[in-house]
Structure 1
Amino acid sequence: MRMRPTLSWTPAGDLPPGTTDVAPVADALSAGGVLVVSGAGISTESGIPDYRSEGGSLSRHTPMTYQDFLGSARARRRYWARSHLGWRTFGRARPNAGHRAVAAFERHGLLSGVITQNVDGLHQAAGSGGVVELHGSLDRVVCLSCGRFSARRELAVRLEEANPLFEPVPAGINPDGDADLTDEQVGGFRVVPCTVCGGILKPDVVFFGEAVPPGRVEHCRELVREAASLLVLGSSLTVMSGLRFVRQAAQTGKPVLIVNRDPTRGDQHAVTRVALPLGAALTAVAGRLGIPLGGEAAPQA
């Protein structure tokens, strides 16, 4: 279950220090069978901020919880107004060198799978296939009454039509696609219902306080069991949704490698933590392996 985020976790003094040596990561990849687990940090170079770094969105923003969304029409209006605006930024985001590196490693047969905690779709836009979206994706919408799924772009058109004068300037955009707006800016934003049954629409993402579907978790656990090693990219591992896979790998003797600039909650389980920006680190790894990353991918539809 994703709980309401906090900044209460602080790294212990005896955690192993970070390094700038990418050789262990390159060695693990050259051996193959690497399962990637990615977090918000891999998308920061695409213009999407993370949660917990210095200046991260949690310093100014508490994401919508599942309980608030279900329990309050006002909360749903606030969410959809902010998310509608944030979606424009997500739609313009392009995969960066980190995403392209992961896709290149997959093309060369070095990965056993990719699990992402992100909801931005940038791994797929970079060319990765079979990505497990642990927390869902912002490009899908589900009706909580009839269960119908629809494309987010279709909802965006309906919301534009219902709110033709809605053009506030946000204070920032967050990793969950939520723009920072005041109550005054949200104003009289109109939320639209399901076109089939008139029910409440929700993005197909796991909100804080909502359980990740058990089948999805078990699928990820199976991927960990089948992997030769685990490579964490851009996650602080503060919440259990990602940390549990690190613990599972470590408990079964599988090497855990982390690329994250700041200390993480999983460092004690890792054989190394590369404290470099994701793009630079994975570009260096690709260079050591003689793998070209290719050009910049097209923006998402």
Structure 2
Amino acid sequence: MGDVTDTRRALVTGITGQDGGHLTELLHDKGYEVFGLIRGQRNARKEALEAEFPYVNMIEADLTDQTSLIQAMLTSEPHEIYNLGAISHVGYSFRNPQLTADITAKGVLNLLEAVRVTGMAEKARFYQASTSEMFGGLDYNRPGAGYNEDSLFHPRSPYGVAKLYAHWIARNYRESYGMFVSTGILFNHEGERRGLEFVTRKITNAVAAIHLGRQDHVVLGDLWPKRDWGYAGDYVRGMWQMLQHDVPDDFVLATGETHSIEEFLALAFAEVGITDWRSYVKQDPQFMRPAEVDILLGDPSKAERVLGWKREVSFHGLVQRMVRHDIELLKRDGAF
């Protein structure tokens, strides 16, 4: 695999999200013409997207509206399609399961059908963003080894269930119509672009605010769950590598190690010189989910062996990067 030499076109859904930002940057650096699918004329993130990525060709479309997706295909004529669009917050999916199903599950079917009926499947390679939440913490009979591509699924949230449908319908289109469809089963990946509604960014933003004297505590839910946390920039590189591979397939991207939310907190506060972090943390039942996944550990050996993928940013480096970014961001903005 090497960098792209001829101008290629990529269509990215979910381009205003964390992964969309990292992927857009990577594709542009590799010489792609990037098309981004955004929802509605008054999309709150449109202005920020235009400012950060003025080279992106924006297309207004919606994963729940197949007609608009067909038009998006005809407009962009992509060589590669990265479907990152979804209702992606687990907690939110419990409050809005119907919307989660419509966008995160059925939206993928709509997009795949748009690719198929327009004939784009003959030249376009399709990436589907699957998730470790499909596993759901079920005992996988591989103690300490982590989930791999053959592990059993047992989602424990509307988000995980919706993603599982999306994963299987993507595989079905690959097997039924011979489409080049690869799925990336990504474990938790974070970074500077993570939304404030996610626990990692909520923590680093709060730590930065506490450090600057603009906040005195952070309110969280359970602190014991363990996750396999990596850096989003490393993971979008893996997405790209999947579509450069000769054969479409399913790949787990993970670090192969787990850390609890408590560990994340300890490292984040240590970055600003606070060792007794517990006095700055309060817990509230409203942030605790009806069903929680105890531990998620991934086995990325297939991606490492077949794609040559390897994570570069360590867990400590990830936390450090996020805290330092949020400190600088709050200093620059001059506001909490």
TM over 0.5: no
TM range (shorter): 0.3 to 0.5
Identify which of structures 1 and 2 has the higher relative contact order when contacts are C-alpha pairs closer than 8 Å and 6+ apart: 1
Q: TM-score normalised to the size of structure 2?
A: 0.31
Higher relative helix content: 2
Q: TM-score normalised to the size of structure 1?
A: 0.34
